[in-house]
Amino acid sequence: MKLLYILTLICIALLLCECKPERTLSPLSTIYEDYNDSLVGTKWIIIRYDNGTTPYYPNDTLMFLNDSKYSINAAVVRNNFTTYRVNGTYNISLTLYDCSTLGGSYAGQVPDSFNSLGEINNVKFKNLYSNSTINIWLRKI
């Protein structure tokens, strides 16, 4: 009887305080995180991209205007972009739609520290509509 009384008190105490275990997330959490906002207002130079074994040095500037649009060299044309954390990695997927400098829409996985470091070096980006890939170098200005 005494044991039942003690267990009842413990149950009541737990219900009253609504104790919940603390939830901690690892850096590799699969929870969606949007990185578009962190790029708003930043400018990046496409220093180089390699198409096969041929390097190109366009030095075009990407300006991220809002959470979904960017422009190239301050052009009137606004193109879409997206970013999101790649589940189970320390990478961010960056997709640039209709990038005239690169000749199409490309997506690649960049380190999640790319914005604070201010550079993307030799990262493979895949064309969204074909099997072609290019390697890209970008620097934040």
> Residue 10: pLDDT above 90?
no
If phi > 0 it is left, if psi is from -120 to 50 it is alpha, else beta; for residue 54 that is: beta
Q: Mean pLDDT throughout 43-66?
A: 96
CA–CA dist 107, 28 (Å, integer)? 21
Which DSSP symbol is given to 100?
Answer: T
β-strands 79-85, 119-127 pairing: unpaired
- How confident is the model over 61-110, as pLDDT tens digits? 999 999 899 999 988 889 999 998 888 888 999 999 999 999 999 999 99
Mean pLDDT (the chain, rounded)? 84
Contact 125, 106 (CB under 8 A): yes
Tokens 């030095």, residue? 59
56 strand-pairing partners:
49
Pick from 74, 83, 77: nearest CA to 98: 77
- Backbone torsions φ then ψ of 63, nearest 5 degrees: -120, 125
pLDDT value at residue 79: 94
- Backbone torsions φ then ψ of 114, nearest 5 degrees: -60, -40
Higher pLDDT, 19 or 66: 66
pTM reported for the whole predicted model? 0.73
CA–CA dist 73, 59 (Å, integer)? 9
